[in-house]
Amino acid sequence: MTHPIIVIGAGLAGWTTVREFRKLDTSTPVVVVTADSGDFYAKPTLSNAYAQKRSPEQLVSTPAAKMVETLNVTLMAHTRVDALDVATQSITVTHDGAARTLPYRQLVLATGAQPIHVPVQGNASDQVQSINSLDDFTAFHSALSPHAVSAEGSQNASKTVVIMGAGLIGCEFANDLAGAGHTVHVADPSARPLAALLPAAAGEQLAQALGTLGVQWHFGTTVQAVYTVGDQCTVTLSDGNTVAADAVLSAIGLRADTRLASAAGIACERGIVVDARLQSSASGVYALGDCAQYASASQRTLPYVMPTMHAAKALAATLAGTPTEVVFPLMPVSIKTPALPIVVAAAHPAQQGEWVADAQEDGIWRYIDTDGAQRGFVLTGRHTARRMELAKTTLG
């Protein structure tokens, strides 16, 4: 009997690996194990659904049943993976209340990332939400659903949301919620949004653009406590100010989910350490997506769509019998802030250099290393259309 390939995780990384594998091998048994329903959706759509008036159900692009039928896989949905045994090449799962042991031929870890949580005081601290999955978005969407009725009998859909964090996800949600008519406050210890990713002037442009949309910034401060007051929460900031809010959204960042791999003795650092062929320190166990730390990317994690797509295609070839190294091209990232569209091609974190603004056009910055070579770029507004032009002049 041939043991199956088992894929743990039914997000972009897991399903794309299966899809690419089926292009090469239509018969090897594949089992997908996931804690959720297994429906396919694009996670980036979670942070721009409000302005588009899309419900959680409308974000599902392909139902799980269709994925199973199209890709000829066995799906174990709503299943918890309890343990991984690399010696016996098996995993232990709990499905429908019963424990089972599943042997594998090869194992793909596509376990994603988990939100970073910081301690918050107050009797409503457990009401701070994060959005890292469709289930999370469904819960948040429900919390913001209109229920208050005005004197005229119409529903009042506008809510007040405090967002913890002015990074990429925080800014995308701020733009989306404000664009949908909600009142948005953003608290961050930095002096401007996306401080770790953008040159100062670009961050200031974004702050102004979102401010024009109605976003209220609280820089140099953090959320200290959340208390329940009637139907709302009172959010206390570290500078002593308070904000009355209907919801508090934590968007501080994500951390690779290495729990299963680490417990099995697999090497993990910032993510599950994988070589150029995406194999972990355990033979026959591979990882990709938000949970992986790529040797092909100078031991970085790459929690974005394009790296995952490239990794999935290479891994599929390896699983199908043609060992293939993943090669990552320059992959600029589009930040979904329609108030100020932004494209970023970040230099390696260890790269020495500085941001230099274009002398002729406002909205273009190049990251220039100590030898004068361009190692990254940022484009804002109408200049985002020039991403391919700038990419051609940027060294990896």
pTM of the model: 0.93
- Identify whether residues 98 and 122 lie together within a single domain: no
The lowest-confidence range among 24-28, 284-288, 344-348 is 344-348
pLDDT band of residue 267 (cuts 50, 70, 90) is very high
pLDDT tens per residue, range 134-175? 999 999 999 887 653 333 333 347 899 999 999 999 999 999
Backbone angles phi, psi at 330, to 5 degrees: -65, 125
Residue 366 burial by Cβ neighbours in a 10 Å radius (0-12, 13-18, 19+)? buried
CATH of the domain at 356: 3.30.390.120
**Residue holding tokens 């697999």?**
266
**Residue holding tokens 């060992």?**
323
Q: Write down which residue in 208, 234, 250 finishes a domain.
A: 250
Total number of domains constituting the chain: 3
- Identify whether residues 87 and 12 lie together within a single domain: yes
Residue 44 belongs to a domain: yes
Q: Write down which residue in 223, 250, 277 finishes a domain.
A: 250
- Identify whether residues 216 and 292 lie together within a single domain: no
- Identify whether residues 121 and 225 lie together within a single domain: yes
Q: Which two tokens stand for residue 301?
A: 């994690």
CATH of the domain at 174: 3.50.50.60
Residue 30 belongs to a domain: yes
- Identify whether residues 98 and 164 lie together within a single domain: no
- Identify whether residues 64 and 131 lie together within a single domain: no
Residue 333 belongs to a domain: no
- Identify whether residues 145 and 34 lie together within a single domain: no
Report H helices in 180-324.
200-213, 259-263, 305-319
Mean pLDDT (whole number) for 119-123: 95
Residue 312 belongs to a domain: yes
In angstroms, the Cα distances linking 170 to 146, 153, 178 are: 22, 34, 12
Report H helices in the chain.
12-24, 64-71, 134-143, 168-179, 200-213, 259-263, 305-319, 387-392
- Identify whether residues 11 and 110 lie together within a single domain: yes
Residue 329 belongs to a domain: no
Using an 8 Å Cβ cutoff, are 75 and 38 in contact?
yes
As a whole number of angstroms, the distance between CA 215 and CA 93 comes to 44
State the average pLDDT for the chain.
94
- Identify whether residues 109 and 258 lie together within a single domain: yes
- Identify whether residues 205 and 136 lie together within a single domain: yes
Mean pLDDT (whole number) for 364-383: 96
Task: Print the domain residue range for 349.
Answer: 341-392
Mean pLDDT (whole number) for 185-207: 97
- Identify whether residues 243 and 125 lie together within a single domain: yes
**Which pLDDT score, from 0 to 100, does residue 52 have?**
86
- Identify whether residues 110 and 122 lie together within a single domain: no
pLDDT tens per residue, range 29-52? 999 999 999 999 999 999 999 988
